[in-house]
Structure 1
Amino acid sequence: MFNQNKNTPAGYWLLTVGSYRILVHRRGSFAALALIAALIVTAGLSLVWGVEDLSLVSVFFNAAGLGDPMHVFLIQELRMPRLIAGLATGFALGVAGCLLQTLARNRLATPGIIGIDDGATAFAVASIVAVPTSLAPSALALSGAAVAAALAFGLSGAAGSRGYRFIVVGIGVGAMFGALTNFMLARAHIDSANLAYPWTVGSLNARPPEAVWVLMAGLLVCVPCAKYLARALNVLRFSDAVAQGLGINLRRVRIYTLVVTVILTALGVAVVGPVGLIALAAPEVARHLAGHQGVAVMGAGLAGALLMLVADWAGRSLFAPIEIPVGVIMAAVGGPYLLWILLRQPSRRTE
């Protein structure tokens, strides 16, 4: 139960569970509830509205396999899988962006900007058009993300996990993998290139269910790990000397955080493709709603899922029957947002 006494810090609730006591941040809790409520409303609208509008009551019956067979097919085979894929990928990319931004102490350090998205995309495309294998694109995407992260982390040096140095090296790594992707698509047969196209722009249309299940399994493992790392990352926002003085093993925390980020990014890209601006915007939304308290891992995940659903719904509804991929919608919105970040903090300290 929640208690409040004179020893409880301002802005917190004291949650007592048996012999355990947990401090719960009030504004962060309200922010999470608001994001969950917005997610529920957006998910309902995405199932109801589209080229074929349905009532909310019919959606429940159609989801259970009852009603008009065409509407049952629309909900069970098209909109529901798309909704699940959007929720999972948005949550994964939001958490990955939060972890990497906190690790690098820079709001621009996201998987898309430092090349992890491009590495995952290049390997996923290669599994289809260049060296077709029995491995699923999700497995190759994980390998590509790991290679890109290792290159960015290694080439930027021991201190490269901080500031603009890590970002600049990551941009170079991403450009290299982006060029490789374009080369493979240019040399591929037209049918293979069309099959690989969704992995280059970001789309939730007809996503492979196996990749979605793998992503959900990865979330079950990585999200608790991210929450566990958040406490150390919260200290890591200060200088290295302060973090070490508080008993934080910097090398171990950085490596573990990078591993979790790579897994979440790779599995997300294997489903939806490169929608890196979700990882840029979602943590900022979560920090703003929570009052910049701590490392908002869950808030960033919820905000990422919400942004993904809104962008996907807009892409398939605003210009219906023409569908705009979710990656294009996020680029149109996220591009000005990135410029706003750059112009708003021109004097940010670099290393």
Structure 2
Amino acid sequence: MHGNTAEDGLQQQPVGHGYDRATAASAPAGHWCLAWQSGGARAPCSVLVDRRAFLAALLLLLGLLAASFAYLTMGSSALAPRAVLPALVGRGDLMAVFLVQELRLPRLLAACLTGAAFGVAGCLMQTLARNRLATPGIIGIDNGATAFAVASVIGLGVSLAPPAMALVGATTAAALTFGLAAGGGTRGYRFIVAGIGVGAVFGAITQLLLAKVHIDTANAAYPWTVGSLNARPAGAVTLLAVGLPLGLGTALWLTRALSLMRFSDAVAAGLGLRVSQRRWQVLAVSVLLTGLAVSVAGPVGLVGLIGPEIARSLSSPRGVPVMASALAGALVMVLADLAGRVLLSPIEIPVGIVTAVVGGPWLLWILLRPASRNLA
């Protein structure tokens, strides 16, 4: 490299179509540099890829594919692994086709979508607050979305109402938490304590609503109180399938801002970040994803804690693992729902209970380990 910086190397190395090995040699340590010539552009286009983050995402993707295949084969009626792939395309035994296409595949897709949404929302909130306890479930956003979704089921009884009401509830809970933490912003434990209080109030409202209605109506609203993929509103799943790519794409676009948000506001502003504007954008994406996920599966909040923790432990500490958090959240959700279906089959354990059993000790571990290893 003759003493040149990585940026100088990008300008001096010849770049052709696709990957350029000479340019890659000038990439910073721990990165790959992918460079290409686009159209009639004079200067080459290039992008730096963090090796560890890429490998972590690849590992989580492979794990998710393996878990998804196990999800389709296992259940009260087990399928032979060789029968799953033909059933996906409508071939083979009619019972296998029915089990895969009508029962398990839609539920698997819902698990992947909701897990990814909870994982990304948790990663965003943790980065925003610089605290690994600041997940949507712990700071009350999940409970706010749940209370409004339950109110819509009790009062309206239509499948398209819970998604919209869940978004309103998530927004209301976030606004209340910010208001009660006035002066402390999103940093420190004041924000966490305010969120816990808001979540407790909305949780009590949910229980009060269920106590005042007929038992059949309460049973219809029950999945939104514990977290379950057994009763998935088709309209809510469709909205989440549209909203998740938008939210994930926005979060990836905000990756550089998220990296700077881990510093103090003064440092981030000095590096050119519009702190207030980016903070509201991050919060809006987190609320959107949480509301849509709750409208499908209910408050499975600890996925937003476990998923980002897994992603952070596998990924590079240099960046914010948004994509890895989405994949890890989806993996946790699929495995939790699979465990709920098969452990006591034919009795089904709601996925929210499974994640609570796993996430509770994880939360205690975060609280009890040395403070130097926390974001707070």
- Alignment TM class, shorter chain as reference: over 0.9
- Cα distance in 2 between the residues matched to 1:83 and 1:2: 39
User: Contact 2:130–2:375 at 8 Å: present in 1 too?
Assistant: no
User: Contact 2:76–2:346 at 8 Å: present in 1 too?
Assistant: yes
Q: 1:308 to 1:5 in 2, by over 3 A?
A: closer
- Cα distance in 2 between the residues matched to 1:249 and 1:48: 49
- Cα distance in 2 between the residues matched to 1:296 and 1:269: 22
User: Contact 1:78–1:206 at 8 Å: present in 2 too?
Assistant: no
Match for 1:16 among 32, 35, 42?
35
Secondary structure in structure 1 of the residue aligned to 2:254: helix
Identical aligned residues as a percent: 57
Equivalent residue number for residue 178 of structure 1: 203
- Cα distance in 2 between the residues matched to 1:289 and 1:261: 22
Determine which structure has more spread, i.e. the larger CA radius of gyration: 2
Q: 1:135 to 1:76 in 2, by over 3 A?
A: closer
Match for 1:66 among 83, 91, 113?
91
> Post-superposition shift, 1:188?
1.1
Q: How many residue pairs were aligned?
A: 351
- Cα distance in 1 between the residues matched to 2:33 and 2:197: 47
Match for 2:261 among 236, 240, 248?
236
- Cα distance in 2 between the residues matched to 1:223 and 1:76: 27
1:253 aligns with 2:278: yes
Q: Which whole-Å deviations, capped at 9, do the CAs of 1:106-151 have from their partners, x for residues lacking one?
A: 0000000000000000000001114556852111101100100111
Equivalent residue number for residue 201 of structure 1: 226
User: Contact 2:50–2:316 at 8 Å: present in 1 too?
Assistant: no
> Post-superposition shift, 1:177?
0.3
1:287 aligns with 2:312: yes
> Post-superposition shift, 1:241?
0.9
- Cα distance in 2 between the residues matched to 1:2 and 1:41: 33
User: Contact 2:115–2:303 at 8 Å: present in 1 too?
Assistant: yes
Equivalent residue number for residue 110 of structure 1: 135
- Cα distance in 2 between the residues matched to 1:154 and 1:265: 19
Secondary structure in structure 2 of the residue aligned to 1:144: helix
1:318 aligns with 2:343: yes
1:276 aligns with 2:309: no
- The amino acid of 1:115's aligned partner reads G
Equivalent residue number for residue 329 of structure 1: 354
- Cα distance in 2 between the residues matched to 1:274 and 1:317: 21
- Cα distance in 1 between the residues matched to 2:94 and 2:24: 58
User: Contact 2:260–2:268 at 8 Å: present in 1 too?
Assistant: yes
- Cα distance in 1 between the residues matched to 2:367 and 2:20: 42
User: Contact 1:43–1:83 at 8 Å: present in 2 too?
Assistant: yes
Aligned counterparts, 1:94-243, within 5 A: 94-130=119-155, 132=157, 135-243=160-268
- The amino acid of 2:55's aligned partner reads F
User: Contact 2:132–2:375 at 8 Å: present in 1 too?
Assistant: no
- Cα distance in 2 between the residues matched to 1:326 and 1:242: 41
Q: 1:5 to 1:246 in 2, by over 3 A?
A: same
Q: 1:75 to 1:16 in 2, by over 3 A?
A: same
Structure 1: unaligned runs, 5 residues or longer:
none
1:35 aligns with 2:54: no
> Post-superposition shift, 1:297?
0.3
User: Contact 1:121–1:273 at 8 Å: present in 2 too?
Assistant: yes
Q: Which whole-Å deviations, capped at 9, do the CAs of 1:70-105 have from their partners, x for residues lacking one?
A: 322211111001100000000000000000000000
> Post-superposition shift, 1:27?
0.9
Match for 1:92 among 95, 114, 117?
117
How does the TM-score come out when normalised to structure 1? 0.96
Greater relative contact order (CA < 8 Å, ≥ 6 in sequence): 1
Structure 2: unaligned runs, 5 residues or longer:
1-18, 38-43
- Cα distance in 2 between the residues matched to 1:32 and 1:6: 23
User: Contact 1:203–1:272 at 8 Å: present in 2 too?
Assistant: yes
Equivalent residue number for residue 12 of structure 2: none
